Amino acid sequence: MPSDVPAARQAVRVLTYLAAQAGPSPAAAVAQGLGLPRSTVYHLLSVLVDEGFVTHLPEEHRYGLGTASLALGSAYARQAPLARLARPVVARLVESTGESAHLAVLNGREVLYLVEQRAPRRPTLVTDVDVRLPAHLTASGRAVLAGLPAAQVRALFPSAAAFADRTGVGPQSLGALREVLRGVRQRGWAEEDGEVTPGLASVAHAAVDHTGLPVAGIALTFWADDAPPARRAELAAAVGRAATEVSRRLGAREHPVPPKQPPGPPR
């Protein structure tokens, strides 16, 4: 059985291209964007239109995603594969570190928690499945935001009114958030200290998909006083290994854990 099917790969590329656009696109733009012959693109679009994955807008001479693509998205949400793939990894993370762990996805300016695994005799948390918290205050949210284009972060936080507050600490402007995210990228992991709940701290890494974009943040939460810098670096490394495993399960080709940085004071 062949290991590669060029037509199938090209059809997926067409769908991925259309999904990334702000609106329907001309076939010529699809061909140019993918570096494919126009005749090949027209053939692929014709098949995808017949199957309902693409819609042709004849008056505009453009193509957009069809209802079958919407059905796939709904089926993905219904089957909750991200939570299913991540849950055993998060459970092993809790077992290996003795701290509580969770996985969250970006939902607007908030993170939505999909997986929550509590460790015995650890602090009570405000996070739980289906709970939402401000992304800019959480370690998991910062891990995801740090991997997004600057324009997307700016669109999410257009003004000071976009910055919710829980404990009186944390970034309250786009400039302050950019500085926090710069620290995430330099350090190799995200963290927060008392910005969600006084006395508690978290470290997090992002899991990425096959395109390399962050799709979820995985975090450990613990008593801040119980975790000096060296302990936090150790926990961050464990979260990084878990994020690498989830990324691999999501089809990421390569997701190396960032090199461990020398421990420094909490941010």
Distance of CA 255 to the CA centre of its chain: 13
Residue 2 has pLDDT above 70, yes or no: no
Query: In 3-state terms, what secondary structure has residue 251?
Result: coil
Share of the chain above pLDDT 90, in %: 69
Based on the structure, what is the number of domains in the chain? Answer: 2
Write down the pLDDT at residue 26.
Answer: 95
Q: Which token pair is 7? A: 């037509």
**Among 222, 221, 209, 213, which residue's Cα sits nearest to residue 250?**
209
Beta bridge mates, 18:
none
Residue 258: inside a domain? no
Residue 34, domain extent: 6-72
pLDDT digits (tens, 9 = 90+) for 94-113: 999 999 999 999 988 999 99
pLDDT at 152 over 60: yes
Q: Do residues 250 and 206 lie in contact, with contact meaning Cβ atoms separated by under 8 Å?
A: no
- pTM beyond 0.85: the answer is no
Q: Same structural domain for residues 142 and 194?
A: yes
Residues 151 and 49 grouped into a single domain: no
Q: What is the model's pLDDT at position 262?
A: 38
Q: Is residue 132 part of a domain?
A: yes
Q: Both 60 and 89 in a single domain?
A: no
Name the domain boundary from 72, 91, 115: 72
What is d(CA 219, CA 191) in angstroms, rounded to the nearest whole number?
9
**Do 59 and 147 fall into the same domain?**
no
Query: Do 173 and 51 fall into the same domain?
Result: no
pLDDT tens, position by position, 154-206: 999 999 999 998 888 899 999 999 999 999 999 999 999 999 999 999 999 99
Q: Which residues are 205's β-sheet partners? A: 218
